[in-house]
Amino acid sequence: MPEVSCSTRRAGVLQAGPRWYVTESADTMNKHQLFNMDCLHFFKVEDDRRWDTIFADPPDNIGLKYDNYSDNLPTSDYINLLHKWLQLFVERSRCVWFSYNAKWWAQVGRIVTELEAHFGKHIEIKPCVQIHTFGQHNHHDLGNNHRPLIRIKWSSCPLYPDAIRVESWRQKHGDKRADPRGRVPGDVFGFADDNELAMAISDDDVYDFTRVTGNSKQRRKWHKTQLNEGLVERCLKLTTAPGEHVLDPFGGTGTTLRVCKRIDRHCTLVEIDPGYCTQIAAEHEMTHPNRRRWEIP
């Protein structure tokens, strides 16, 4: 088991806790950074860095046409990668969110079970799901309308449920028993635009994250896939406090950076594709101190 320590940072002060701390050099403090490299290589180069949360949305290996990356690896190679990624992320961050294609649920389940056996009661698993009622229509079989999202957290590290409270069913309906603070939402991340499905699942779950489709305002048309900013925001607010450090090892369009800027977290993105890096850097007017790194001081 790796040596792990824990702390929470408040107002720039690192308070040593029992098991976890985030290492920062003067160089990496208070900056958003973008690295153009394979995330496995990044973890080797940045060997001593730790994060408060990693949000990972890896390629699905379903043959999508990215500009540079091949999304069509032999299955065993992809499963090996899933294993390496998940293990490294858990070792380097006090909390990991991992969004993956439902096609891989059994394989990810097996890997997570192995991690649980290895780390024992030191880690906690929270399976969640993102539902797409506006998924691609399949005329021949059940459509693909959900995407698993798993959270793996070191047991001693904090959650901030008050940061993500939403209006409850009771509040919406003027029920006097309503908690004025609203309710902490459930583990289903979904939609507002399909009332039938919403009602079928639960009366008071909240459905507010549409899939980022071609005509969405959030959409960056130069990239194949993109998560909804609202979903990423809810995850990050639950597991980090303002000023803490987030890593997204599969930067994509930079969704995590856009969210981190808005909610005052420090963000590090890693993206293997140089073209996507250039797009992200241009959108955020990042400086370019060396060939593989961009930043916002």
Ligand X SMILES: C[S@@+](CC[C@H](N)C(=O)[O-])C[C@H]1O[C@@H](n2cnc3c(N)ncnc32)[C@H](O)[C@@H]1O
Q: What does the binding site for ligand X look like in residue numbers (CB under 6 A)?
A: 38-39, 57-59, 66, 69, 225-227, 249-250, 252-253, 255, 270-273, 276
Q: What is the DSSP letter of 136?
A: P
Look at residues 56, 264, 269, 237 and name the one whose alpha carbon lies nearest to residue 158. Answer: 237
Which of 60, 124 has the CB closer to ligand X? 60
Which of 58, 185 has the CB closer to ligand X? 58
Which of 14, 64 has the CB closer to ligand X? 64
One-letter amino acid at 23 equals: T
Nearest-angstrom CA–CA distance, 187 and 159: 14
Q: Which residues contact 241 (CB under 8 A, 6 or more apart)?
A: 8, 9, 10, 52, 158, 160
Least separation in angstroms between residue 68's CB and ligand X is 7
Least separation in angstroms between residue 99's CB and ligand X is 7
Which of 52, 57 has the CB closer to ligand X? 57
What DSSP letter does each residue of 210-276 carry, written as one string? ----TT-TT--TTSS----HHHHHHHHHHH--TT-EEEESS-TTTHHHHHHHHHT-EEEEEES-HHH
Least separation in angstroms between residue 242's CB and ligand X is 22
Look at residues 52, 54, 58, 48 and name the one whose alpha carbon lies nearest to residue 20. Answer: 52
Nearest-angstrom CA–CA distance, 16 and 39: 28
Give yes or no for a contact between 179 and 162, defined as CB atoms under 8 angstroms apart: no
Least separation in angstroms between residue 14's CB and ligand X is 28
Least separation in angstroms between residue 122's CB and ligand X is 27
Q: What is the DSSP letter of 137?
A: P
Least separation in angstroms between residue 158's CB and ligand X is 25
Which of 20, 209 has the CB closer to ligand X? 209
Which of 7, 36 has the CB closer to ligand X? 36
Residue closest to ligand X, measured at CB: 252
